[in-house]
């Protein structure tokens, strides 16, 4: 492999160590899942607020080695669709924030648990480039049922980074 390929591979391995699957648990088992990333050695996990919408639900995070930990919601920010879970246990590797968002054309690695999760609980991974360093994104949630969609709320994210990663 080229030096570039080795660098991307090393970053993907590092990303794999800090990316977790967030499972929503019910009496019947896993009711849903999302992605998260360790942001502190004590087991703090950053995830999306929509993943942990119901604070009364039980949550579990599945680590890269296949082990799991019970987790609970520490904080949620619906406006920015961000939430913090605490999954206490042995210290973990964690992602560190960067000083400034990457610019257009910068190479990035992406990982996450979307759709079906394989039996090994490995995240989908890809590398790509930043296409737009800052763009607005809006998601409208609709009420179920009825013949016409009725908007319940719209979440707006004014400063997102768009990549061409396929996760």
Tens digits of residue pLDDT in 141-163:
666 665 666 666 666 666 666 67
In 3-state terms the chain splits into helix, strand, coil percentages (rounded to 5) of: 10, 50, 40
- Tell which residue, 22, 25, 26, has the closest CA to residue 35: 22
- Longest Cα pair distance anywhere in the chain, in angstroms? 56
Q: What is the pLDDT, as a whole number, of residue 148?
A: 62
Q: What is the pLDDT, as a whole number, of residue 119?
A: 62
How much is the mean pLDDT over the chain?
A: 81
Cα 39 from Cα 86, distance rounded (Å): 10
Tens digits of residue pLDDT in 49-58:
888 987 778 9
């Amino acid at each position: 492999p080229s030096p570039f390929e080795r660098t991307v591979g090393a970053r993907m391995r590092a990303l794999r160590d800090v990316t977790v699957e967030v499972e929503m648990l019910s009496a019947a088992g896993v009711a849903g899942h999302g992605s998260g990333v360790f942001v502190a050695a004590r087991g703090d996990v950053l995830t999306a607020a929509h993943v942990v919408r119901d604070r009364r639900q039980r949550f579990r995070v599945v680590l890269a080695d296949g082990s799991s930990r019970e987790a609970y919601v520490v904080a949620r920010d619906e406006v920015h669709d961000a939430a913090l879970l605490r999954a206490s246990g042995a210290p973990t590797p964690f992602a560190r924030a960067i000083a400034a968002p990457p610019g257009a054309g910068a190479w990035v690695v992406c990982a996450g648990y979307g759709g079906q999760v394989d039996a090994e609980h490995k995240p989908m991974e890809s590398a790509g480039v930043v296409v737009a360093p800052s763009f607005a994104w809006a998601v409208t949630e609709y009420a179920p049922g009825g013949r016409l969609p009725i908007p319940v709320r719209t979440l707006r994210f004014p400063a997102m980074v768009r990549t061409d990663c396929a996760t």
